[in-house]
Amino acid sequence: MSLHTDLLRRLQSAARVQLVARLTDDRMNFPQTNELHVFIPDLHLITAARRLEGGYQYGTNYPDLLEAVVGQLQGLKTDAAPAGEVVVYQIGDLFDLWRQVDGLDPNANAASAIQNDHASLLKALRDPDLNAQFLLGNHDYDLYRFPNFDAWQRSYVLSPSVMLLHGDVFDWVEKLPDELQNLALFLFTKNPVGTADLEKMRPLNNKQRGGRKFKKFIQNQAPAPTGKWREMADDDGRNWNVQVEGTAPREMLLYLDEARQKCAEANSKFGSSLNVAVIGHTHHARIAVHDGADGFFALMDCGAWIENCSTADDPKPQANAQIAALSGNEARIYQLSPLG
Amino acid sequence: MRYALLVCALGFGAGCAVRYPLVVPVREQQFRSSDQPAALPLSAEARAEVANFLEHGGNRFGRNAVPDKQAEGHKQILDALADAGNLKIRADLATSDFCAIAAQLCQAAPIFRKRIAVTQVIDARSRAPEVPDPIAVCDDEYCWVFRQAANQLTQLVVMRSVWRAKP
């Protein structure tokens, strides 16, 4: 029994589970079978009143299901210890401050208002026994200013080879002047970025907002194509729906090159050996791989819990509700939907 | 003209300055009205405990009574907090205006008018920040820290403020 199997059982007790993608490859260089890292991507929570007032087309999908899943993750973590370690991450854009308020009023209590409106979900996610780790996304970047959220990070390195970050940095990193390029590259190290660095990068983050309102969509005007999903009963344990550079459509490879390039830069500058990146941000669940003479690199985009996706079998929009996991050189993305 | 330029420069500087949210730290035992927050609406016993704390200058272990400059306002607060009808709030509002959040309470206890709601309450005894966030509102001498759930104020602890008015 692996921790992947334990996780799947737990998820199946709370949700219908389909396999979006699986990559098993020793070249990921993340062999730890006694560690399971679970990634919950973008939720973009706002208050119900604000959604109505702002006329936002999209809200968070299946918050009750997610709360049940988080409860299962806590059970898994407890059961797995001490032989196994389960670490749960919410990888940014948990809150959508950009949609909740029009500008940053330092005392506007926007994060608290959202948290109060989704109290039971947030209580589960922020339970000290779950000890979930949180990343700041672009839509909740300003949380670093709030003491009750300032333990949140911009990136994590899962030693030895995995870079975990929200992914928005790839929107703008190539456009930066040298000084800020170095600052951005600092995200790709084990050192946590300090408040002063976050403050320096804040204008860049706000520039991305660019006055947009995000009423009709945030990332994807059309459902994100996710290839073919597999029912777990049909699963044969082999790689599934992996998008390989050279054969996969271009849209399935978004940020693969950028992530590979930045990890390579960090490897050469800081002596690391990063060759897997785990991101959210794009709301487009997929595993993409570069496999060439110059090396191997994998990008796992964990998807979202907002907006829609479609499969190759069924163009009908389906609510994004993905969760991803990594353990023992195996990465998986699941699509969840309510039971019954 | 010079004065106008100065005001302009100060205004511009303040606008660009890094501003962080207000924080209310939970104070040491003697400066808190009770160890555990009192349930709301206030019972006669809990009310007496808070009143006693205020009468001793916000020092629970103090021996001498200290005149309370805001005694009238504090009495109104305690009266209001004994009535369940005043405990309804709008916790989902992204505002720092306490009276927008707790309209009924403000009506019954005008001392809270134009006061700022602070949701960053730091309690070093806790393993993690509380969810949902407590809401604190400070008058001239005391911070009133409310726990809340489902758009109701549910518990209260009063602390002597770190910031005190000049004697």
**ipTM of this complex:** 0.86
Q: Which residues of A43-70 are buried (b: 16+ CB within 10 A; e: fewer)?
A: bbbbbeebbeebebebbbbbbebbbbbb
Of A209 and A281, which is predicted with more confidence?
A: A281
Length of chain B, in residues? 167
Does position B152 have pLDDT exceeding 90, yes or no? Answer: yes
Q: 3-state DSSP call for residue A287?
A: strand
Instruction: State how far the alpha carbon of B165 is from the alpha carbons of B138, B140, B141, in Å.
Output: 12, 6, 6
Does position A299 have pLDDT exceeding 50, yes or no? Answer: yes
Tens of pLDDT along A101-144? 876 666 678 999 999 999 999 999 999 999 999 999 999 999 99
B154 touching chain A per CB within 8 A: no
How high is the pLDDT of residue A203?
85
Contact state of B132 with A148 under an 8 Å Cβ cutoff: no
φ and ψ at B117, to 5 degrees? -85, 130
Q: What residues of A are in contact with residue B127 (Cβ under 8 Å)?
A: 128
DSSP bridge pairs for A22:
A240, A332
- Give the closest residue to B25 by CA, choosing from B106, B138, B111: B138
B21 band by pLDDT with thresholds 50, 70 and 90: confident
Which of A109, A115, A117 has the CB atom closest to B117's CB atom? A109
Rounded Cα distance between A226 and A287, Å, is 10
Mean pLDDT of A68-97: 97
Q: What residues of B are in contact with residue A145 (Cβ under 8 Å)?
A: 20-21
B91 touching chain A per CB within 8 A: yes
Non-local (6+) Cβ contacts of B125 within 8 A are B26
- Give the closest residue to A275 by CA, choosing from A251, A247, A295, A301: A295
First to last CA, chain B: 38
Does position B1 have pLDDT exceeding 60, yes or no? Answer: no
Rounded Cα distance between B116 and B139, Å, is 9
Does position A317 have pLDDT exceeding 70, yes or no? Answer: yes
B95 touching chain A per CB within 8 A: yes
Contact state of B128 with A126 under an 8 Å Cβ cutoff: yes
Mean pLDDT of chain B: 89
- Give the closest residue to A166 by CA, choosing from A152, A177, A155, A174: A155
Non-local (6+) Cβ contacts of A73 within 8 A are A7, A10, A38, A86, A88, A130
Sheet holding A295-301, edge to edge: A155-158, A162-165, A276-279, A295-301, A286-292, A242-244
Rounded Cα distance between B45 and B42, Å, is 8
B13 band by pLDDT with thresholds 50, 70 and 90: very low
Q: What residues of B are in contact with residue A126 (Cβ under 8 Å)?
A: 128-129, 131
Which residue in chain A has the smallest CA separation from B24? A147
Is the Cβ–Cβ distance between B64 and B55 less than 8 Å?
no
Taking the CA of residue B19 and the nearest CA in chain A, the distance in Å comes to 6
CA geometry: angle A194, A200, A203, nearest 5 deg: 135
Mean pLDDT of B44-66: 96
- Taking the CA atoms of A9, A10, A12 and A17 in sequence, report the sign of the dihedral they define: negative
How high is the pLDDT of residue B4?
52
Does position A96 have pLDDT exceeding 90, yes or no? Answer: yes
Does position B7 have pLDDT exceeding 50, yes or no? Answer: no
pLDDT over 90 percentage in chain A: 80
Mean pLDDT of chain A: 93
Does position B11 have pLDDT exceeding 60, yes or no? Answer: no
Of A28 and A108, which is predicted with more confidence?
A: A28
Instruction: State how far the alpha carbon of A336 is from the alpha carbons of A200, A220, A244, B157, in Å.
Output: 38, 19, 24, 42
Q: What residues of A are in contact with residue B120 (Cβ under 8 Å)?
A: 146-148
First to last CA, chain A: 27
How high is the pLDDT of residue A78?
97
Contact state of B96 with A122 under an 8 Å Cβ cutoff: no
Contact state of A126 with B131 under an 8 Å Cβ cutoff: yes
A1 band by pLDDT with thresholds 50, 70 and 90: confident
- Token pair for A3: 């921790």
How high is the pLDDT of residue B10?
46
Does position A31 have pLDDT exceeding 50, yes or no? Answer: yes
Lowest mean pLDDT among A134-143, A297-306, B12-21: B12-21
